[in-house]
Structure 1
Amino acid sequence: MTHDHLSPARMGSTPQDYARFGIEPGAIKPHEDGLRTDGGPGSYEWWYFDAHLDDGAKLVVVFFTKEFTAIGKPLAPMIRIDLTLPDGTTVEKLAEFDASTFTASTDTCDVRIGANVFAGDLHTYTIRAKAEDVEVDVTLTGTVPAWRPESGHWLFGEDGEQIFAWLPSVPEGRVEATYSLAGRSTTTTGVGYHDHNWGNTVMLKLMHHWYWARGSAGPYSVIASYITAEKQYGYSTLPVFMLARDGKLIADDKSKVTFEELGSYTDTDTGTGKPVANVTRYTYSDGDERYVVTYTRHSDLSTVKFADNLTPPKRFAAKLAGFDGAYLRFVGEVRIEHYEGGKLVESHVDDALWELMYFGKARP
């Protein structure tokens, strides 16, 4: 009888881990939102922004060093803009650039791709981007301070040699935005978010799937995620939880979090074939005090089978290899409840978006 050897997966949290990455516990510095890789083969990196705008529009802007699945390639910068108009029309644009157009500071967030800019100081950001006939000009001002779960580096393998890193530089902020489509401009305000990811190993080799969500309701802001590592890592679970009230952090100890998936179904309507929970719930228990954050799905905003976005030869190769990764983004509500000694003392509800990223095959 043989037993598969399982490798460890953990969040970096030891003094040695912090020293390795040149960071400090609980003290985030501007260089952490600067360039953290060299952009070359064996790395990926991106800076992400999204906003819910007061006119009903939704906006996503991402600056990439390269397509994150093409980790073996040299620097190949890209910008993605997804704009959902108030009437529900969605425009998705991807602009690719020559490597010579890319510059980024290692001291702070100052990323330039041609005339496009993603720059800020962990509090105030300027984002200007254009892809074909879509153009955006955004100012994001943080209302919740920059945060990370411990070191923000998930480490995979015996020596933690494989890395997936994440920094929520602006967990929540005020947005002033002008967006233009085919020459027609709209200026509005809203609520936004910015984070930064990088790593040295293709994510689908490390992670089987994750739920990731953020949102706000009443005085509360939340970021919550539940990551399941790949089979090689024993399908270990890696929870993330941050809760702030009136802009101040009140809860972020992952050991106090439990996660539930309720009302699960298999997504056959869009053909991903993935198991999906209609309700995801994060419960944070700290002595007699308990916070319950519940996301309830109303509909799908988008569903993507990764293989469908490949060129025909790559799509055929992906199917031969059995790759059937998918991404689902949901629209619904978040409810944040506060209990003291078993008694509900506060409850707030608001609209929310969240996602299920499913790299692996559905588990039997």
Structure 2
Amino acid sequence: MRESTFSFWEDADFNALRDEPLLPGEDAWHSGNVEKTYESWYIEAVLDKGYVLGVTFATKGLKKLPSPLEPQLKVDLVTPEGTRETLVQHFTKEDFRASEEYVSLEMGTNRFAGTFPEYRLQVTSSEVSLDLQFTAEVPGWKPGRGRVAYADKGKKFLQWVVPVPRASVAGNISVKGQKEEVSGLGYYHYLYTNFYLPEILSRTIWARVYTEDYTIIFADIVGRTLFSYEPVRPFMLAQNEVMKLSTGNMDLMTRGLQRDPQTGARYPREMVVKVAGEVPVEVRTKAKKMLWGRSVESSSRKPLLATVAVDAKVLLLTYPVSETAGQGVITSIVY
């Protein structure tokens, strides 16, 4: 028997839904049922001087549920010299503090907090330290109702919202005692689920693409055999600070797979995304450089994550057709 998949724009009876506004506090900590859920806050920055940074605050590692609250912080950093630095810190529940009204997270001396449009990220360790201010330049995005649901009446859910699709970033970064002032582009998303991801999902792609005027966020969330490998594909386009398009009607084609020799993580060499409708768009990406890859912690399987820098072209298929070059970051996970 095949199970059902309910997209961001469907309720549990397959009724069509419209986009809902992203409300303050939707990315705050959910303190109820912490043993039966997993939450993570992912913050990213592509900085001048060649730094690329990804920071994840999570209520636990990726493991079967239920499981206890075991806060952890992961920092992935690529330096201007191309060196990959990885920091993983585990905390007791006593070291974890969070607000249920807005995003405000503390794990030991590490902190991420703010309300739209201002956020601050602080990480302190002997190897890597950060103090970065994020100022959102594009409104937050909630595709549909902000969640994909699975199985009978959608009792299993994956909530994903992007409070900061694009931000200007400024601050300082210190690697092994060498401190530098930096600036660049930033991104932040929030994920909340009540199931062990590898049990339902076979793979996911999370993409952010930037040109001077356009911001594009899209994802490819694919279920396992029981869910007929059905993809859910949210897509967002903003021009400067104005949201132009939010839809689930996206076609995605990948060309070739690259493999990171260090971790075995795989990612698409090229992708072509097409969106028809009121604002027809085509996005083409080509992998440029592996940023970081690793096994994602789990109790039974070892899902592989790859985060890659890409070159991009954005085509608005209106008359006349306009083409703009850009860059982006894509994360691919095979569960």
Counterpart of 1:41 in 2: which secondary structure?
helix
1:83 and 1:266 map into 2 onto residues whose CA distance is 21
Per the alignment, do residues 182 and 301 of structure 1 end up closer, same or farther by CA in structure 2, a change over 3 Å counting? closer
* Structure 1 position 291, deviation (Å): 1.1
Structure 2: gaps (5+ residues): none
Out of 251, 254, 267, which is 1:261 matched to? 254
Query: Is residue 33–residue 122 contact of structure 1 (8 Å, CA) maintained in 2?
Result: no
Per the alignment, do residues 115 and 70 of structure 1 end up closer, same or farther by CA in structure 2, a change over 3 Å counting? farther
Query: Is residue 78–residue 84 contact of structure 2 (8 Å, CA) maintained in 1?
Result: yes
Does residue 1:358 correspond to 2:314, yes or no?
Answer: no
Query: Is residue 8–residue 145 contact of structure 2 (8 Å, CA) maintained in 1?
Result: yes
Out of 208, 227, 238, which is 1:244 matched to? 238
* Structure 1 position 272, deviation (Å): 3.6
Query: Is residue 123–residue 146 contact of structure 1 (8 Å, CA) maintained in 2?
Result: no
Query: Is residue 295–residue 333 contact of structure 1 (8 Å, CA) maintained in 2?
Result: yes
Q: Which residue of 2 aligns with 1:139?
A: 133
Deviation sequence 1:91-133 (CA, Å, 0-9, x none): 1001111111112111111112222211111311011122342
Out of 251, 256, 271, which is 1:280 matched to? 271
2:119 and 2:158 map into 1 onto residues whose CA distance is 24
Q: Which residue of 2 aligns with 1:20?
A: none
Q: Which residue of 2 aligns with 1:9?
A: 5
* Structure 1 position 84, deviation (Å): 1.3
TM-score norm. by structure 2 comes to 0.91
1:37 and 1:235 map into 2 onto residues whose CA distance is 32
Query: Is residue 11–residue 151 contact of structure 1 (8 Å, CA) maintained in 2?
Result: no
2:135 and 2:41 map into 1 onto residues whose CA distance is 16
Which stretch has the larger CA shift, 175-184 or 47-56? Answer: 175-184
2:263 and 2:96 map into 1 onto residues whose CA distance is 37
Out of 282, 294, 300, which is 2:290 matched to? 300
Counterpart of 1:232 in 2: which secondary structure?
helix
Correspondence list, 1:21-60, <5 A:
25-38=19-32, 40-60=34-54
2:41 and 2:302 map into 1 onto residues whose CA distance is 26
* Higher RCO (CA-CA < 8 Å; seq separation 6+): 2
Does residue 1:129 correspond to 2:87, yes or no?
Answer: no
Q: Which residue of 1 aligns with 2:311?
A: 333
Deviation sequence 1:46-90 (CA, Å, 0-9, x none): 111000011211111211111122533211111111221111112
Q: Which residue of 2 aligns with 1:21?
A: none
Per the alignment, do residues 241 and 37 of structure 1 end up closer, same or farther by CA in structure 2, a change over 3 Å counting? farther
Q: What amino acid sits opposite 2:288 in the alignment?
A: H
Q: Which residue of 2 aligns with 1:103?
A: 97
Query: Is residue 259–residue 283 contact of structure 1 (8 Å, CA) maintained in 2?
Result: yes
Aligned residues: 331
Query: Is residue 76–residue 292 contact of structure 2 (8 Å, CA) maintained in 1?
Result: no
Q: Which has the higher helix share?
A: 1
Per the alignment, do residues 250 and 94 of structure 1 end up closer, same or farther by CA in structure 2, a change over 3 Å counting? same
1:214 and 1:125 map into 2 onto residues whose CA distance is 19
2:12 and 2:4 map into 1 onto residues whose CA distance is 17
Deviation sequence 1:167-209 (CA, Å, 0-9, x none): 1010000101211122221111110001111111011112111
2:263 and 2:186 map into 1 onto residues whose CA distance is 31
* Structure 1 position 25, deviation (Å): 4.6
1:273 and 1:183 map into 2 onto residues whose CA distance is 31
Q: Which residue of 2 aligns with 1:347?
A: 323
* Structure 1 position 36, deviation (Å): 2.5
Structure 1: gaps (5+ residues): 18-23, 360-364
| Rg larger in structure | 1
Per the alignment, do residues 245 and 86 of structure 1 end up closer, same or farther by CA in structure 2, a change over 3 Å counting? same
1:159 and 1:145 map into 2 onto residues whose CA distance is 31
1:253 and 1:33 map into 2 onto residues whose CA distance is 21
Per the alignment, do residues 301 and 188 of structure 1 end up closer, same or farther by CA in structure 2, a change over 3 Å counting? closer
Query: Is residue 138–residue 242 contact of structure 2 (8 Å, CA) maintained in 1?
Result: yes
Q: What amino acid sits opposite 2:309 in the alignment?
A: V
RMSD between aligned residues: 2.3
Q: What amino acid sits opposite 1:291 in the alignment?
A: V
TM-score norm. by structure 1 comes to 0.84
Query: Is residue 258–residue 269 contact of structure 2 (8 Å, CA) maintained in 1?
Result: no
Query: Is residue 59–residue 72 contact of structure 2 (8 Å, CA) maintained in 1?
Result: yes
1:43 and 1:132 map into 2 onto residues whose CA distance is 31
